[in-house]
Amino acid sequence: MSDTLSRVKSIIVDRLGVDEAKVVPTATFKDDLGADSLDVVELIMELEDEFDMEISDEDAERIKTVGDVVTYIDAHQ
Amino acid sequence: MTEQVSIVTGASRGIGRSIALELGRDGNCVVVNYVGREEEARATARLIEEQGGRAIVEQGDVSLASDAERLVESALAAFGHLDVVVNNAGITRDTLVLRMKDEDWDAVMNTNLKGAFHLIRAAARPMMKQRSGRIINIASVVAIMGNAGQANYVSAKAGLIGLTKSVAREFASRNITVNAIAPGFIETDMTAGLNAEWTGKMVEQIPLGRPGSPEDVAHAVSFLASPKAAYITGQVLHIDGGMVM
């Protein structure tokens, strides 16, 4: 498992209170992990802090799955 | 029950001071914010402590996002949590539109409307984490009625009501309620400077036949901040002696 994925995972588990086993790359935040729109915004802000980067609203809207986050972070680090 | 922690902007005098005193009763904690009147803000804090509450005094201009953020950080550092935000800070630059300068418009918008936005944005994160919070915005009856000579102030206050309703919807799922209070004609330093003939006419239009006091407004704030108001959000409560119905 990539370092990015494990860091992202632990943030998601902490923030959404979901079982770690459910946080797989194909899992969608809204349908699979039960996040509402505020959860997603909070998650994005926390990821910005954790990875010291800015994720624009436009880019954030395209992020639907755990894998999307990891790909985005790896591409923009 | 743990004590309630509140931030009150513009709490050195007038309605803000009364609100700070009311929220600081019964061992509760208040961040007393001021911009320029440090002595008066310290007096507000002393009055809170005399009645058994806790208070810290924080200078800060909420029209600056960084100052608004610092207020929230100070509240969390001093008291550990943040339960209530009262956006009370307000200024006037009254004149007819024909004579109104851009600076008059911007100054009033920046403090009265943008300032509330800044503080709400800063306070939202800890309140969301807590899954509870109360935001109370002090608007004005003129936001509903309009008022000649106050296009900037009225626009900012009307904007504050729109902000209240939008934020109420955004944060409802996190158990954060957001309401506005619309005071009518209240006797403060701000209204003491008004033309006597004009104020006489204003009072004639008040069904209860008298101006309100800052305490009348503070009581309503205290209610909205209390557990009794848990099911009220997105509302505008008029404290105006019936001036606007």
Query: What is the nearest CA distance from B80 to chain A, expressed in angstroms?
Result: 20
User: Does the beta-carbon distance from B174 to A42 stay under 8 Å?
Assistant: no
CB B236 within 8 A of CB B182: yes
How many other CB atoms sit within 10 Å of the CB of residue A58?
7
- Interface with A, mutate which of B121, B174, B175, B176 (most A CBs under 10 A): B174
Shortest Cα–Cα distance, A68 to chain B (Å)? 24
So what's the pLDDT on residue A1?
60
Any idea what DSSP says for residue B99? G
pLDDT value of position B1: 53
Closest B-chain CA to A41: B125
* CATH of the structural domain A2-76, one choice from 1.20.1070.10, 1.20.1050.10, 1.10.1200.10, 3.30.930.10: 1.10.1200.10
Q: Do A42 and B128 touch (CB under 8 A)?
A: yes
From first to last of its 245 residues, chain B has per-residue pLDDT tens of 579 999 999 999 999 999 999 999 988 999 999 999 999 999 999 999 999 999 999 999 999 999 999 999 999 999 999 999 999 999 999 999 999 999 999 999 999 999 999 999 999 999 998 999 999 999 999 999 999 999 999 999 999 999 999 999 999 999 999 999 999 999 988 778 778 888 888 899 999 999 999 999 999 999 999 999 999 999 999 999 999 99
Domain spans of chain A, in order of start: 2-76
Residues of B in contact with A36 (CB under 8 A): 173
Contact B232, B180 (CB under 8 A): no
3-class secondary structure per residue, chain A: CCHHHHHHHHHHHHHHCCCHHHCCCCCECCCCCCCCHHHHHHHHHHHHHHHCCCCCHHHHHHCCEHHHHHHHHHHHC
Q: Decide if B173 contacts A36 (C-beta within 8 A).
A: yes
For residue A16, the chain B residue with the least C-alpha distance is B129
Indicate the DSSP class of residue B212.
B
Q: Is B143 helix (H, G, I), strand (E, B) or coil?
A: helix
Q: Under CATH, which architecture does the B5-239 domain have?
A: 3-Layer(aba) Sandwich (3.40)
pLDDT number for residue B230? 97
Taken as a whole, chain A contains a residue count of 77
**Chain A residue with Cα closest to B171:** A38
Single out the catalytic residue among B117, B153, B171, B185: B153
Spatial contact of A66 and A6, defined as CB atoms under 8 Å apart: no
What is the maximum alpha-carbon separation in chain A?
A: 29
* pLDDT for the residue numbered B191: 79
CA distances from A70 to A22, B64, B147 (A): 16, 35, 54
State the first-to-last Cα distance of chain A, in angstroms, to the nearest integer: 18
Nearest C-alpha in A relative to B169: A38
pLDDT at position B67 is 98
Residue A45 with chain B: CB contacts under 8 Å: 125
Q: At CB < 8 Å, which residues of chain A contact B?
A: 36, 38, 42, 45
Q: What is the pTM of this model?
A: 0.92
With an 8 Å Cβ cutoff, the interface of chain B facing chain A consists of 125, 128, 170-171, 173-174
Binding site per annotation, positions of B:
10-13, 88, 153-157, 186
Please list every residue in chain A whose beta carbon sits closer than 8 Å to the beta carbon of residue B170. Answer: 38
Residues at the binding site of B for NADP(+) are 10-13, 88, 153-157, 186
Residues 6+ apart with CB under 8 A from B194: none
Residue pLDDT, tens place only, A16-38: 999 999 999 999 999 999 999 89
Rg from Cα positions in chain A: 11
Name the residue ranges covered by the structural domains of chain B.
Answer: 5-239
Q: In this structure, what DSSP letter does residue B12 have? A: S
**Number of Cβ pairs closer than 8 Å across A and B?**
9
